[in-house]
Amino acid sequence: MATAVKFTEDELKFLLAAGNTIAFKAVFDRHYTQLVYFAEKFTGDRAEAEDIVMEVFARFWQKRSDSATIANLSSFLFSSVKYACIDFLRKEARHPILLQNISTELLNEETIIEGEEVFSRLVHQIYENIENLPDQCRTIFKLIYIEGKSTKEVAETLNLSVQTVRNQKTRGLSLIRAKLNPPQLLPLVLLQLAILYTQGIR
């Protein structure tokens, strides 16, 4: 299987401005899932969130010549999705409860919005790192955290000892935590909470 092309931030901006479709795909693949998760927190609807994110990417491609002037691609895309969601909620008369619950003060509270961005990025990082775990560790990790099985159930399913399952679970947590940036700032409790949210982004 071909290895995905890796670009630096500056390379991406330069190539995007030149109309490079491979660079655009790299940005899309890197951010699509976490942006949909972020948009769904606003809209409460997965399909609407996906539509909004696709529209944001379409506009982003149309204005690709401006890419070189963007300070940070990730922040730009999150902000674009945030305001697209706010605009959607304001226009949709069939969402009166959502509109009532989202006050002007909340929309202007940047720390709250940034918190959502950070958590959605964390969830996405965790999902990617689960997929990169060693085979047995990944299987056990998914059975426990994604499918909600107990340690005993996993042991019986895979014909392993309970201690082996526990060891692999601990190993998985350690490997994922080590890959996060910065790992030392992430309490284990928050890591496990975020892992539980991964079942909602696929």
- Whichever domain contains 148, its CATH number is 1.10.10.10
* Domain span including residue 147: 122-202
Residue 117 lies in a domain: no
| Domain count of the fold of the chain | 2
Q: For residue 60, what are the CA distances in angstroms to 19, 25, 89, 177?
A: 11, 12, 21, 33
What is the per-residue pLDDT for 10? 86
User: Which tokens in the block code for residue 68?
Assistant: 């070189």
Do 144 and 93 lie in a common domain?
Answer: no
Residue 78 lies in a domain: yes
**Nearest residue to 120 (alpha-carbon basis) of 25, 32, 50:** 32
Do 86 and 50 lie in a common domain?
Answer: yes
Do 195 and 141 lie in a common domain?
Answer: yes
What is the per-residue pLDDT for 185? 43
User: Which tokens in the block code for residue 156?
Assistant: 């019986």
Helices (H), the chain: 9-17, 21-43, 46-62, 73-91, 96-101, 104-108, 110-131, 135-141, 151-158, 162-179, 188-197
Do 14 and 98 lie in a common domain?
Answer: yes
Do 140 and 88 lie in a common domain?
Answer: no
Q: For the segment 133-150, what is each residue's pLDDT rounded down to a tens digit? A: 899 998 998 888 777 788
Residue 186 lies in a domain: yes
What is the chain's mean pLDDT, rounded?
76
Cβ-Cβ contacts under 8 Å for 44 (sequence gap 6 or more): 98
Helix axes 21-43, 9-17, angle to 10 degrees: 110
Residue 64 lies in a domain: yes
Could you give phi then psi for residue 179, rounded to 5 degrees? -85, -20
- pTM higher than the cut 0.75: no
Residue 39 lies in a domain: yes
CA dist., res. 54 & res. 70, Å (int): 19
Task: Show the low-confidence residues of the chain (pLDDT under 70).
Answer: 1-5, 92-124, 181-202
Tell me which of 83, 108, 133 is where a domain ends: 108
Residue 116 lies in a domain: no
What is the per-residue pLDDT for 199? 44
Q: For the segment 113-137, what is each residue's pLDDT rounded down to a tens digit? A: 555 566 666 666 777 788 888 999 9
Do 103 and 128 lie in a common domain?
Answer: no
Do 50 and 94 lie in a common domain?
Answer: yes
User: Which tokens in the block code for residue 27?
Assistant: 């940005």
